[in-house]
């Protein structure tokens, strides 16, 4: 419980930094920290494999990619939008947040955590589910990744 | 372990912060990062439901969300680089070629 509050407050603080910092590199580092904290939250929710994947794929691959693009483009820090936009964004986010939170707190029954079976969320259990019930989406995801690779190469090619 | 709705509320807060980032920032890279933040908030709710319903389906769907997010980041960043080469800007307000 205490662990959850520490992780939750830290992840909210870092995600606020993502939105509010002017410097893009600071935003990227704050996002990496947020992704790490969410990975730890995954582990506390008995999803160790997804936690590891989160660190590898998100905090590793995607953040490196974003940092490389920032480094290549070296953009000047842009101003945030005018005050009207900022107020609109803050109000909209607050309204959305309150709405979702209210929805979640009007739950039909109190869901306290049932005990998970041994090996829940481990590599074996996730892989078994992935390769039996979800094998068609798995194949579709592989095609999607192939298309994304080809698209990225075609877009990134000079003069392409 | 904290109750389920604590995790859902945290997911809601993170998602709302991501939405705010998309609305208030003008830097398209930060907008992309805010979208990643929103995807992560949804992943957190998926994992929380998977744990509290003792079903692995949520975790498998998070796996697919990660795949799609990786593809989206790769193609999105390639488009950003391509646009930056032509326009020398990252401000989406100046990318008006397709605007009527």
Any idea which of A24-38, A49-63, A72-86, B37-51 has the lowest mean pLDDT? Answer: A72-86
CB < 8 Å from B in window 54-83 of A: 54, 57-58, 61-62, 65-66, 69-70, 72-73, 75, 77-81
Which pLDDT band, with edges at 50, 70 and 90, does A110 fall under? low
Are the C-beta atoms of A151 and B75 separated by less than 8 Å?
yes
Give the model's pLDDT for residue A107.
63
For the cut 70, the answer to whether the pLDDT of residue A79 exceeds it is: no
Burial class (CB in 10 A: 0-12, 13-18, 19+), A123: exposed
Give the model's pLDDT for residue A84. Answer: 79
pLDDT of residue A103: 73
Range with the poorest average pLDDT among A11-20, A57-66, B12-21, B78-87:
B78-87
Q: What is the reported pLDDT for B25?
A: 85
Instruction: Provide ipTM, 2 decimals.
Output: 0.91
Q: Confirm or reject contact between B87 and chain A (CB < 8 A).
A: no
pLDDT over 90 (residue A97): no
User: How large is the average pLDDT for residues B15-41?
Assistant: 91
Q: What is the pLDDT of residue A42?
A: 94
Closest-CA distance of chain A to residue B100, Å: 22
For the record, the structure tokens of A145 come out as 């990744």
Residue B73, helix vs strand vs coil: helix
Please name the helix (run of DSSP H) or strand (run of DSSP E) that holds residue B48, with its range, or none.
helix B28-52
Share of chain A above pLDDT 90, in %: 45
Query: pLDDT tens digit string along B30-41?
Result: 999 999 999 999
* Contacts with A132 from chain B: Cβ below 8 Å: none
What angle is formed at CA B86 by the lines to CA B80 and CA B88, rounded to 5 degrees? Answer: 75
Q: What is the pTM of this model?
A: 0.89
């Amino acid at each position: 419980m205490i662990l959850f509050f520490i992780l939750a407050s830290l992840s909210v603080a870092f995600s606020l930094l993502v939105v509010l910092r002017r410097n893009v590199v600071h935003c990227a580092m704050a996002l990496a920290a947020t992704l790490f904290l969410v990975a730890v939250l995954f582990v506390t929710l008995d999803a160790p494999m997804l936690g590891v994947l989160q660190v590898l794929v998100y905090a590793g691959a995607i953040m490196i990619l974003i940092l490389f693009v920032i480094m290549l483009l070296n953009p000047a820090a842009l101003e945030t939008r005018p005050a009207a936009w900022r107020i609109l964004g803050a109000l909209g986010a607050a309204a959305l947040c309150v709405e979702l939170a209210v929805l979640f707190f009007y739950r039909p029954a109190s869901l306290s955590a049932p005990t998970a079976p041994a090996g829940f969320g481990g590599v074996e259990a996730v892989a078994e589910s992935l390769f039996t019930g979800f094998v068609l989406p798995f194949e579709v995801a592989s095609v999607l990744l192939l298309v994304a690779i080809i698209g990225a190469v075609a877009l990134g090619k000079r003069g392409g | 372990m904290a109750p389920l709705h604590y995790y859902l509320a945290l997911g809601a807060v993170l998602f709302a912060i991501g939405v705010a980032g998309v609305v208030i920032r003008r830097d398209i890279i930060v907008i992309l990062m805010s979208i990643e933040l929103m995807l992560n908030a949804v992943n957190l709710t998926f994992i929380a439901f998977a744990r509290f319903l003792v079903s692995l389906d949520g975790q498998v769907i998070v796996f697919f969300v990660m795949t799609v997010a990786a593809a989206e980041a790769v193609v999105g960043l390639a488009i950003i680089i391509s646009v930056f080469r032509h326009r020398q800007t990252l401000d989406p307000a100046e990318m008006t070629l397709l605007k009527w």
